Structure 1
């Protein structure tokens, strides 16, 4: 702004030097005033390069501008002065500094000054048309600048609101992504708003949806919808039907759609606003800000997850070393002592042999855990699940004195060894909890999969949970600690999702996750 003032003052001085106005004496005085104003503008530009001007100083500078412009107009033909454009600069500067309020007060001041110049002019009637049109121009320009200032102020407020929305997210029970989406939907007055992205692995499509006041979370194996090439570089607005998107994404027929891409980073995706009632000039920039904010939250979430996993790996390795150095050595000593007992007693009993077998089996399992925790296993392997799961269930039936039915679809289902081990641990814990706490005697285990995801369901005939009969989704299970805390935390650690269907006839546990 200071540089613009200096340039304007220099050209005004050049103009009066090249073509002085009448009367000549006033023109000479105006020349010296403009020369002084050029020096003042240059000094002000240098000061503003090094220092920040306070609010009172800014008001003083603006007052000097308006006063100088009024004097120059008075000395150069009054209301018909060619330097009338200086008043427009004052309006623009006030709008940039103080928004619509600055535009309104400056309009009142400039109209008052121009009115005084017009009334005091001796040649008013000679050029009345120009005087009237210039007065109307000042009023109209003031209204437009005030409108522009209002847009700037509203955009600043909305951007600040979006920037701070995630900071208060947890207080309102939302995740940071949901909080930003909720606030953006409120600003744009959209009936539905969605954040859709696929992570770096590309295995799962994640969706956070705001639909008429309700936040929903979902994951699927759907492909990320293809969008217009323009959306990859910035926010776009479409009328209904002009952008082909799947019905599950837009919720049926949509009259208008605003889409903005997530910034490049750990996730590929976009933010979608459906049927926005707010269609002002700041709609697309706000959508872009919301997308950038959500992209930042996704990147931060991924980074936080990586840090947690790194900390877990470090703790697992420490625990594995402790197990190897202490527990395994102790078990080995016990096994040696048991092996020497038959020699002393003259024979080995059946019970003693069984104890030795159990200790040997547990040693093998502990060694496997140590190798995995310290990273000594080979590359990730895949294996068929049905046979191994059936063998596990036979062991669990004998251990807990219950009956377990199994169904696997497809029968040749293959998953990574890590995922299979997680499934086995969850099945074992769910059946143990069902027998001990739910007094169940019969279980049904169903395992089915799509190309990249699996669904594991474990039903029992027990008494269910103490909570009322209902279906509890993943977020409620975690936040309200419904059911087995150990089971839900194990599912969370694996990066999977869990839901519970509770009834007096028993409990159904459903777990969904990636096959790899």
Structure 2
């Protein structure tokens, strides 16, 4: 297309797009009346009878069209005034056809005007309503014409079929426009409040919204960091999300070959069954799809400052050319949200680190100095009774232990080394010894079965859970013995704490300690409580990385 033709095309398109629909309908009505008057003037022999009535009706309709052209109805689309106007249009055209040779009337050519006007105003609903009105009018005009002895059944069949086909094709465009509008609204309403959630909940909402836009059956989102072989695979199917994190360079090398390299740098493309199978195999996604027909999978890649990835949707409920554009837009949304989530996470980490440093400084300058002062006073205290000396000594040891823990926390904040791991067995044995001395009960480690050492953050959570569960067993259950069992692998841990206390009432077994549940839920863990006869047995599942 040459430049001049393209400019003419764009100018015409923009003129039609930005025109007021109400004004276009008014112009269409005026043009319809104008050509009808012109036909009557040039060929007054048609119709052969009722010429005066037809002329009078056309003149009145011309006045009606002129008034609406000069003073359009300024009311919302849902107003009944618009419906009455369209009913008048249909009635006038029906009367013109009835008064001028009925089924062979030349005014049947104008019957498409009210149908087009209703479609422009009300979309698919307008098309259905307009088609129903026209078919009823056609039967009202045609049946008497058939029964008058001069059957014109062929006109009735042909005109009826024509209006049905015309209404069906017009309804397609109306439905397509409404679907496109709904999807644009859905894309514009992309969830932006996901930063308040952890990554699992955030991805769940994003995937649910993306599949809703296109009514897809399955969604795969893959991304990895640009500068390191670390990334994630999110698979959404049947309303369930599974996340697989991986930092293996060989894994991402295979993904690069069988997934990223098959997609263009910009835009989306259709993925056939063979390429889809190779992509899922490389990503480690099991072929759980129950689809028997040939799947339609559209994938688009995305690239940001930190991430590169792809988004693939199977069987989108849309035309292929539209689905390509929509999947590309959805991939861009994922790319932007990944960058935003990562940025907010970094800011949150910085703010959290600053708060922890401030807390450490306050502990060092306040609580630690007060504990030191209390220790000195205990050492210099006058003890009148010799039997009180061991008690004061125990109190001094407890304070010294708290000093050690606070000092360790302060020093740890000054030099955080999150990647270091610690021997859980030795750390927990020290902990249970301190807890046994603190609560004057028997606290033992029944079993520790761990394949690897624990990261510091996970170990700190385990220690806090053991300490709190022990305190609850003594204070609320009057327990005299607590047994701790810890086992797990590189993905999750199972912490079991059993005591010989009084236990809990039956109705409280499902709730238990709200503080323990709250701590577990923060990093994606879970807890169950059962009776141990006597006492309770608390089982806690702790993810190694947590969901956030």
TM tier, smaller:
0.5 to 0.7
Alpha-carbon contact 2:431-2:463 (below 8 Å) kept: no
The TM-score normalised by the length of structure 2 is: 0.57
Q: For 2:89, which of 59, 65, 77 is the aligned residue?
A: 65
* Aligned CA distance change for structure 1 residues 82 and 363 (closer, same or farther; 3 Å): farther
Q: Which runs of 5+ in 1 are unaligned?
A: 167-174, 469-478
Secondary structure, aligned partner of 1:221: strand
- What does 1:70-469 align with in structure 2 at a 5 Å threshold? 70=94, 79-80=103-104, 84-95=108-119, 97=121, 102-114=126-138, 132-142=157-167, 210=238, 218-221=242-245, 226=259, 229=263, 243-244=276-277, 245=280, 248-251=285-288, 254-256=291-293, 257=295, 327-341=367-381, 355-356=395-396, 358-366=398-406, 369=409, 377-378=414-415, 380-386=417-423, 389-397=425-433, 399=436, 400-410=442-452, 413=453, 415=455, 417-429=456-468, 442-449=483-490, 454-459=491-496
Secondary structure, aligned partner of 1:444: strand
Secondary structure, aligned partner of 2:489: strand
Q: For 1:2, which of 22, 30, 45 is the aligned residue?
A: 22
Secondary structure, aligned partner of 2:84: helix
Using the TM superposition, name which of 99-108 and 259-268 deviates more.
259-268
Cα distance, 1:512 vs. partner? Answer: 0.9
Q: For 2:515, which of 483, 486, 493 is the aligned residue?
A: 486
CA distance in 2, matches of 1:442, 1:92: 80
Alpha-carbon contact 2:272-2:297 (below 8 Å) kept: no
Q: Aligned residue for 1:472?
A: none
Alpha-carbon contact 1:162-1:180 (below 8 Å) kept: no
CA distance in 2, matches of 1:138, 1:353: 101
* Aligned CA distance change for structure 1 residues 284 and 93 (closer, same or farther; 3 Å): farther
The TM-score normalised by the length of structure 1 is: 0.60
Cα distance, 1:424 vs. partner? Answer: 3.6
What root-mean-square deviation, in Å, do the aligned CA atoms of Structure 1 and Structure 2 show?
6.5
Cα distance, 1:485 vs. partner? Answer: 3.0
How many residue pairs were aligned? 461
Cα distance, 1:337 vs. partner? Answer: 2.3
Q: Which runs of 5+ in 2 are unaligned?
A: 1-20, 192-200, 437-441
* Aligned CA distance change for structure 1 residues 514 and 67 (closer, same or farther; 3 Å): same
Alpha-carbon contact 1:240-1:255 (below 8 Å) kept: no
CA distance in 2, matches of 1:404, 1:101: 72
* Aligned CA distance change for structure 1 residues 310 and 384 (closer, same or farther; 3 Å): closer
Cα distance, 1:407 vs. partner? Answer: 3.5
Alpha-carbon contact 1:196-1:270 (below 8 Å) kept: yes
For the pair 1:43 / 2:63, whether they are aligned, the reply is no
Cα distance, 1:396 vs. partner? Answer: 1.5
Cα distance, 1:23 vs. partner? Answer: 1.4
